């Protein structure tokens, strides 16, 4: 980032390539409009480049970038709230309940499993979309393994205990929303706990 | 739940971002052996964590990076125009500032002179008006002019003092 701050375009290109996916994911899951999300995500990087002079190396670049992304998303959500009749909103794929998702390796799963997985992913996306913005952001930021809780709290403009509480509430809501899938035996399990006293899972 | 060790609490949240290690699973199993009522809760937590970790990311269009770089080039052209304007002002601002300051000082001086002149004029007018008023208030009658011809005929050299003038008049 320090090189990009000095106007090094090649260094900035590397940064964009590195962070494009997490930023697009966060923005798209927040706004639920693929086209608009991509525009906003591009603006995140443009704003980062323009305000590179204000960047201090004491803050992690990812934290700074996520903060810009969240602020732009909140601005867009506020704009939508002021103009609810905006036609862009009606085109949001989340409204259909079948968000477009990218399967990383479609050939790795057999057809029925792939279908089940796609249905599950759609259900998870829908459950995520139903969360309050701050809970969803907390959960999505937590997926970035490099991001400590302190930084997530900073991005969300809150404290670490409050962030943990947000994550807890978000997970509980997701569990409620995904209960039918949790009870089904068709879904892959993360751990094989021996001597399970709850075979329903 | 209350007696859950701290590392297991942390594991619950961390399972949203990474798969638990074999050692962590072993510790969890050992704890669950004493708290079987927590097993279902833990299984669903870890399940949701795994689902979230494996959730595919939305695709990024191939033109994402080039679009950003192209957008960066556009403002830089505008920026260079801004810089040109800036250097123009930097070049011309000092002499312009001097000229503006001189003009302002000249205007100030001219204004002060004009105000002074107008003040002097109005003072003179007031004095004239006051004098005219004094004269106009004086009671004018024909008796005052009755000795006018006698006085006019008097030779100033012949009447050196007032007493003689008085005697002459009498």
A142–chain B Cβ distance below 8 A for any pair: yes
Q: Where in chain A is the domain with CATH 1.10.10.10?
A: 105-187
- CA quadruple A138, A86, B55, A20: dihedral sign: negative
Q: Where in chain A is the domain with CATH 1.10.1740.10?
A: 1-95
B132, B124 in Cβ contact below 8 A? no
Res B45 pLDDT > 70: yes
pLDDT score of A2: 65
DSSP state of B51: H
Contacts of A167 in chain B (CB under 8 A): 13, 16
Q: Within chain B, how many helices (H) and strands (E) appear?
A: 6, 0
Closest residue in chain B to residue A164, using alpha carbons only: B13
**Yes or no, beta carbons of B68 and A189 under 8 Å apart:** no
Res A149 pLDDT > 50: yes
pLDDT score of B77: 47
More confident residue, A107 or B53: B53
More confident residue, B84 or A44: A44
How distant, in Å, are the alpha carbons of A5, A61, B72 from that of B79?
16, 25, 10
In this prediction, residue B7 has a pLDDT band, given cuts at 50, 70 and 90, of confident
Distance of alpha carbon A142 from alpha carbon A24, whole angstroms: 15
**HEC profile of A72-129:** HHHHHHHHHHHCCCCHHHHCCHHHHCCCCCCCCCHHHCCHHHHHHHHHHHHHHHHHHH
Which member of B17, B50, B61 has the closest CB to residue A190? B50
Range of the domain at B45: 6-54
**Yes or no, beta carbons of B49 and A139 under 8 Å apart:** no
Q: Is the ipTM of this complex over 0.90?
A: no
Res A89 pLDDT > 80: no
**Yes or no, beta carbons of A120 and B29 under 8 Å apart:** no
Closest residue in chain B to residue A104, using alpha carbons only: B56
B15, B46 in Cβ contact below 8 A? yes
pLDDT score of B5: 81
Distance of alpha carbon A155 from alpha carbon A158, whole angstroms: 8
Closest residue in chain B to residue A119, using alpha carbons only: B55
Instruction: Count Cβ atoms below 10 Å from residue A85 Cβ, excluding itself.
Output: 7
- Mean pLDDT calculated for residue range B102-128: 92
**Yes or no, beta carbons of B47 and A187 under 8 Å apart:** yes
Nearest alpha-carbon partner for B56 in A61, A69, A19, A101:
A101
More confident residue, A164 or A115: A164
CATH topology for A1-95?
Rna Polymerase Sigma Factor; Chain: A (1.10.1740)
Contacts of A151 in chain B (CB under 8 A): none
Res B81 pLDDT > 80: no
Q: Is B122 exposed, middle or buried (0-12, 13-18, 19+ CB in 10 A)?
A: exposed
Length of chain B: 170
B69–chain A Cβ distance below 8 A for any pair: yes
Among B84-88, B128-132, B143-147, the minimum mean pLDDT is found in B84-88
Res B137 pLDDT > 60: yes
- In angstroms, the separation between the Cα of residue A102 and the nearest Cα of chain B is 6
DSSP state of B21: P
Nearest alpha-carbon partner for A122 in B62, B165, B58:
B58
Res A91 pLDDT > 90: no
Is B31 within the bounds of a domain?
Answer: yes
pLDDT score of A103: 53
pLDDT score of A124: 94
Q: Is A1 helix (H, G, I), strand (E, B) or coil?
A: coil
Q: Is A142 exposed, middle or buried (0-12, 13-18, 19+ CB in 10 A)?
A: buried
Nearest alpha-carbon partner for A86 in A136, A25, A36, A22:
A36
A59, A68 in Cβ contact below 8 A? no
Is B21 within the bounds of a domain?
Answer: yes
A73, A40 in Cβ contact below 8 A? yes
More confident residue, B23 or B81: B23
Distance of alpha carbon A157 from alpha carbon A47, whole angstroms: 19
User: What's the token pair of residue A23?
Assistant: 């930023």
pLDDT score of B65: 92
CATH of domain A105-187: 1.10.10.10
Residue numbers of A between 39 and 78 with CB closer than 8 Å to B: 41-42, 45-46, 49-50
Is B95 within the bounds of a domain?
Answer: no
B80, A17 in Cβ contact below 8 A? no
Mutate to test the interface with A, among B34, B38, B64 (most CBs of A within 10 A): B64
Domain count, chain B: 2
């Amino acid at each position: 980032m320090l090189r990009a701050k000095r106007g090094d375009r090649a260094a900035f290109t590397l940064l964009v390539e590195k962070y494009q996916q997490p930023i697009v994911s966060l923005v798209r899951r927040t706004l639920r409009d693929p086209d608009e999300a991509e525009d906003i995500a591009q603006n995140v990087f443009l704003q980062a480049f323009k305000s590179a002079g204000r960047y201090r190396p004491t803050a992690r670049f990812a934290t700074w970038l996520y903060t810009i992304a969240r602020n732009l998303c909140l601005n867009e959500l506020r704009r939508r709230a002021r103009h609810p009749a905006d036609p862009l909103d009606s085109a949001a794929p989340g409204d259909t309940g079948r968000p477009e998702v990218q399967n990383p390796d479609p050939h790795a799963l057999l057809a029925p499993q792939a279908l089940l997985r796609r249905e599950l992913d759609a259900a998870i996306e829908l459950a995520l979309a139903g969360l309050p913005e701050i809970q969803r952001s907390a959960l999505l930021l937590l997926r970035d393994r490099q991001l400590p809780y302190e930084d997530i709290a900073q991005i969300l403009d809150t404290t670490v205990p409050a962030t943990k509480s947000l994550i807890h509430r978000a997970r509980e809501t997701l569990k409620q929303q995904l209960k039918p899938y949790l009870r089904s035996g068709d879904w892959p399990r993360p751990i094989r706990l021996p001597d399970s006293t709850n075979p329903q899972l | 739940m209350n007696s859950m060790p701290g590392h297991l609490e942390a594991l619950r949240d961390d399972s949203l971002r990474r798969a638990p290690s074999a050692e962590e699973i072993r510790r969890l199993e050992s704890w669950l052996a004493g708290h079987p009522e927590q097993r279902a809760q833990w299984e669903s937590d870890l399940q949701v964590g795994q689902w979230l970790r494996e959730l595919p990311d939305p695709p990024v269009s191939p033109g994402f990076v080039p679009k950003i770089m192209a957008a960066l080039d556009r403002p830089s052209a505008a920026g260079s125009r801004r810089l040109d304007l800036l250097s123009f002002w930097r070049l011309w601002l000092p002499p312009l500032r001097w000229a503006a300051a001189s003009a302002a000082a000249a205007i100030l001086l001219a204004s002060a002179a004009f105000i002074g002149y107008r003040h002097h004029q109005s003072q003179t007018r007031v004095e004239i008006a006051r004098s005219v008023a004094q004269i106009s208030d004086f009671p004018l009658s024909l008796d005052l002019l009755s000795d006018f011809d006698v006085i006019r005929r008097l030779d100033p050299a012949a009447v050196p003092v007032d007493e003689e003038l008085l005697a002459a008049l009498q």
